[in-house]
A and B are shown apart, each in its own frame.
Chain A
């Protein structure tokens, strides 16, 4: 072993680089600068990428590797657009629309917020800023800094929704008041009108219209976000019983309802009145499906709505099964959409399941899905279990 650089058996020509030893200090200085730059850029939490004229990755720091889940060595020379596809309003950007191509083509500073949707995790909102440098007409380089702004975007949306909610709430209050005296005036005119049957029809239609407007307002007020002080611990079985009572007018004459007893083994935390309202919509929907089948098959048909409760890992699950007319496969993905209804024989506005989903999923972090089954339908609700410390 020697501590001098090895020499024997090596094909060598000259002891010094062609560039000359007098350039060594300059090279060392540049290497020192590059080393500091590499260390500094690698310490930053924001992903950083350098690309060449064709948008191919020349260098990136570790946060970018972590963001896309690939080691650096595997992406050098690969086009940024291929390993980092971006979307705007859900639409995948083309090669020419990708920020790497835009910045390289324009030479102008670029700032944009786009969606990155990796296959293995949830979509992220990414703010990308960067610009290109043209070394010559043929040779350009681009440098980009990314920042995950998903959380800021969510906060902004929540703030906007809160503003919209307050505005809507104020409008409803302002409209309800005149609506009240318009209704009472029409009812007075209807009661005291001794005119033609045509006018009776006009009054009836006007009152029907007012009923629908009031129904829509009731729906809108269900979107008032519960505050945390309305969240209490309760058992799912109690909410189911309350919901069954609320919807009794719908199922009482068409179905037998089976509800599990409260064994105290399905504790959840939330707004019990809102959850009962959501469950009531499920009962109402099941009752309509059973009633529709009864109309089709006659009064001999025995309608049935069965509710069961189960405890899963971290979830309290409620399943509502009915033996009604079922859900057409093409409707499964739409029944939770606002204003979607197949109940052409009722005054249903298509709001019940939409509101139920809003309460259960958006307000309480739960899940709600519909499962068609042979001879009926199955609605599955999951709410996070309450686990006291």
Chain B
């Protein structure tokens, strides 16, 4: 299944991110699932990542964009996720990535509760 098909056909709440690490889209009630009243679009992905994982996220994300070598892609991973209230919940993330013709990476994470 292509990135587009995954993005369009998934029934799970999902979040899309550009290669700078900013949220570019949300689907299927992702925002509501995490209790966000204001839009998540335009916010850095770290808004939904607990503070103690920011360093690991920034370094791993940056390494992937530079090298294309994934650690967490294309498998179900249980990740602590921050809600708007700062409460941290553990969700199952399935993350996919695609590099487009213009050289930019895009990411999508489909989430479900454990």
- In the assembled complex, how far is the CB of residue A140 from the closest CB belonging to chain B, in whole angstroms? 13
- In the assembled complex, how far is the CB of residue A343 from the closest CB belonging to chain B, in whole angstroms? 62
> Which residue of the partner chain A has the closest CB to B101?
A3
Q: Which of A1-39 contact B (CB under 8 A)?
A: 1-6, 8-14, 16-19, 24, 27-28, 30-39
Asked if A137 lies at the interface with its beta carbon under 8 angstroms from chain B, I say: no
- In the assembled complex, how far is the CB of residue B84 from the closest CB belonging to chain A, in whole angstroms? 16
Asked if B114 lies at the interface with its beta carbon under 8 angstroms from chain A, I say: no
Q: How far is the CA of A73 from the CA of B31 in the complex (A)?
A: 24
Of A52-60, A164-172, A186-194, the segment with at least 4 beta carbons within 8 Å of chain B is A52-60
Q: How far is the CA of A76 from the CA of B56 in the complex (A)?
A: 8
B59 engages A37 (CB within 8 Å): yes
Q: How far is the CA of A68 from the CA of B80 in the complex (A)?
A: 22
Q: A6-B3, A6-B4, A12-B41 are in contact. Are A72 and B25 (CB under 8 A)?
A: no
B25 engages A2 (CB within 8 Å): no
Q: How far is the CA of A8 from the CA of B106 in the complex (A)?
A: 15
Q: How far is the CA of A11 from the CA of B1 in the complex (A)?
A: 22
Asked if A50 lies at the interface with its beta carbon under 8 angstroms from chain B, I say: yes
Complex contacts, A10 vs chain B, CB 8 Å: 7, 16, 24-27
- In the assembled complex, how far is the CB of residue A356 from the closest CB belonging to chain B, in whole angstroms? 54
Complex contacts, B2 vs chain A, CB 8 Å: 1
B61 engages A31 (CB within 8 Å): yes
- In the assembled complex, how far is the CB of residue A100 from the closest CB belonging to chain B, in whole angstroms? 14
A27 engages B21 (CB within 8 Å): yes
B67 engages A34 (CB within 8 Å): no
Q: Which of B1-30 contact A (CB under 8 A)?
A: 2-5, 7-8, 16, 18, 20-22, 24-27
Complex contacts, A375 vs chain B, CB 8 Å: none
A32 engages B66 (CB within 8 Å): yes
Asked if B55 lies at the interface with its beta carbon under 8 angstroms from chain A, I say: yes
B77 engages A31 (CB within 8 Å): no
Q: B73-104: contact bitstring with A at CB < 8 Å (1 yes, 0 no)?
A: 00001011000000000000000000011001
Asked if A77 lies at the interface with its beta carbon under 8 angstroms from chain B, I say: yes
Contact of B65 among A9, A13, A31, A76 (CB under 8 A): A31
Q: How far is the CA of A104 from the CA of B106 in the complex (A)?
A: 38
Contact of B20 among A1, A28, A58, A59 (CB under 8 A): A28
B100 engages A5 (CB within 8 Å): yes
- In the assembled complex, how far is the CB of residue B41 from the closest CB belonging to chain A, in whole angstroms? 5
Asked if B33 lies at the interface with its beta carbon under 8 angstroms from chain A, I say: no
Q: How far is the CA of A199 from the CA of B62 in the complex (A)?
A: 91
Contact of B42 among A17, A30, A57 (CB under 8 A): A17
Q: A6-B3, A31-B65 are in contact. Are A16 and B8 (CB under 8 A)?
A: no
- Output the residue of B18, B42, B59 with the most chain A CB within 10 A: B59
A positions within 8 Å CB-CB of B: 1-6, 8-14, 16-19, 24, 27-28, 30-39, 50, 52, 56-59, 72-73, 76-77
14 more CB-based (< 8 A) A-B contacts, given A24-B20, A50-B55: A1-B4, A6-B4, A9-B8, A10-B7, A10-B16, A12-B24, A13-B39, A17-B42, A34-B58, A38-B62, A56-B52, A58-B53, A58-B54, A59-B59
